[in-house]
Structure 1
Amino acid sequence: MCNHYEMTKSLEAMRRLFAGLETHGTNLAPLRDVFPDYPAPIIRRRARAYELGTARWGLPTPPQYLVTKTGKPKRTDPGVTNVRSTTSPHWRRWLPAENRCLVPFSRFAEPQRGTDGKSRDCWFELIDGPENGFFAGLWVPEWSSVRKMAEGPVTTDLFAFLTTEPNAEVGAVHPKAMPVILSKPEEWETWLTAPWSEAKTLQRALPDGSLRIVERDGEE
């Protein structure tokens, strides 16, 4: 699964892609490393306007996974970063358009085990228009939980993105899944506004040849 990505799009670039984008003062500084539970930008649709906001990466975990092997409740919920099974009742409540978002990224990483047995990140980016890459995301506003014991209870916006079967490029590195990537304006609009019966067709792999490997960690 994808648990590491980079976002270096500028605010000016986002405004060119989404006319009338409302920011409400949201800072869009480059993020070289986004990991689970980090805050990151998302784009959602409010009424007829696109809105840029910030949320923490990791949706609420299904309740059955928030208990220990002895049946005791876990004290923290770090969240779920990738969503695959959209038929699950836990995720189904957040599939309507008001809970869908776009997660901007510049490149993303999948883990790859080297000949020395160690896992390293292999980075991918879109070949045709890297600036147009967005993950198909879900977001939940003002969720109260304990993400980290040291932090204590918090109420915050959360997000994650969908995964699907991999295309040829990602499958050669990580054969189980890849993020759902939307790169066309009509896809963005469908994801943010259409009924789920239509939007769910976007949960599919990119065509083969759409991505290139730009770096493998540890390589010179």
Structure 2
Amino acid sequence: MTDQGNWRQLAGMCNLYSNTRTQDAMRRLFPGLEDRAGNLGEGTYYPNQMAPIIRHSAEGLELVLARWGMPSPAFVLKTKRDPGVTNVRNLASRHWQSWLSPAHRCLVPVTSFAEPVKGGNQWFGAADPDRPMFFAGIETRAWRSVRRVKDGETEDDLFAFLTSHPNAEVGAVHPKAMPVILTKPGEWDLWMNAPIEAARQLQRPLPDGALLPIDPAAENGRLI
């Protein structure tokens, strides 16, 4: 498949997720976390929207808001507008090389996520509702681009998250990919701090049975 074909495939992957974990809960998970995200409530997030991420700061880790969608490679853009790339699969691509160091890695809080199916979306959540989940993400700051024509050029902090081949639950509805989800403190530390040669081992699906499909009648990926 051509590079162009690989990038076009991204549109069919996860482009909707929710987070209900509170800021207090995230501060308990990451002692010393600097909270710069303002007053967050429960949220459902689409591409190009602002969402919370945990990233490195000069003092340690900080919780901030960033726009979902990393810069696109120039060859896929037909106009000056760049809607951003929400999912990252091929870490060997030259496009991602400058953002793979620990300084550009982040954790994206997630409670449930959706994969597109005919007529709507299928949501997935943790089989253990008390288990915290984070997407393995990358981020960049102060990036200038045209995200929406009506806004013109803006300067944004941006993020996206990794995908891998799916586990059994996700593969039943989306056989090509699922988000890379980290659920253990050791995984969070490895992703945020290890050289990419070690951290990239985390680019794999959750074990079968770790996720459950959520009833499509559920609101925003949460059971009613």
What is the TM-score of this pair, normalised by structure 2? Answer: 0.89
Structure 2 unpaired stretches of 5+: 1-12
CA distance in 2, matches of 1:43, 1:205: 21
Q: CA deviation at 1:24?
A: 2.9
Match of 1:52 among 63, 66, 81: 63
Which amino acid in structure 2 is aligned with residue 135 of structure 1?
A: F
Structure 1 unaligned segments of length 5 or more: list them. 68-73, 114-118
CA distance in 2, matches of 1:138, 1:30: 22
Q: What is residue 132 of structure 2 aligned with on the other side?
A: 132
Q: Which residue of 2 aligns with 1:185?
A: 185
Aligned to 1:206: 206
Question: What secondary structure does 2:140 align onto?
Answer: strand
Q: Distance in 2 between matches of 1:90 and 1:76?
A: 18
2:205 and 2:166 map into 1 onto residues whose CA distance is 6
Structure 2 equivalent of residue 13 of structure 1: 25
2: CA distance, partners of 1:28 / 1:61: 28
Shift of the 25–166 alpha-carbon distance from structure 1 to 2, 3 Å rule, reads closer
Q: Which amino acid aligns with 1:177?
A: A
> Do residues 94 (structure 1) and 106 (structure 2) align?
no
**Which stretch of the first structure deviates more once superposed, 40-49 or 165-174?**
40-49
Partner amino acid, structure 1, of 2:22: S
CA RMSD of aligned residues (A): 1.7
* Equivalent AA in structure 2 for residue 178 of structure 1: M
User: Shift in Å at residue 130 of structure 1?
Assistant: 4.8
Distance 2:185 2:194 in 1: 13
**What residue is the counterpart of 2:114 in the other structure?**
109
**C-alpha displacement of 1:126:** 1.0
Task: Give the number of equivalent residue pairs.
Answer: 208
Whole-angstrom distance in 1 between the partners of 2:29 and 2:131: 9
Q: State the shift of 1:128 in Å.
A: 2.3
Check 1:218–1:191 CA distance in 2 against 1; reply closer, same or farther (3 A cut): closer
- Contact 1:122 1:217 (8 Å CA) reproduced: no
Amino-acid identity (%): 51
| Aligned equivalent of 1:62, options 73, 90, 93 | 73
- Give the Å deviation of 1:97: 0.3
Greater mean alpha carbon deviation, residues 22-31 or residues 165-174: 22-31
User: Which of the pair is proportionally richer in helix?
Assistant: 2
SS of structure 2 residue aligned to 1:93: helix
Give the C-alpha shift of residue 101 in structure 1.
0.1
Shift of 1:26: 2.8
In structure 2, what is the equivalent of residue 70 of structure 1?
Answer: none
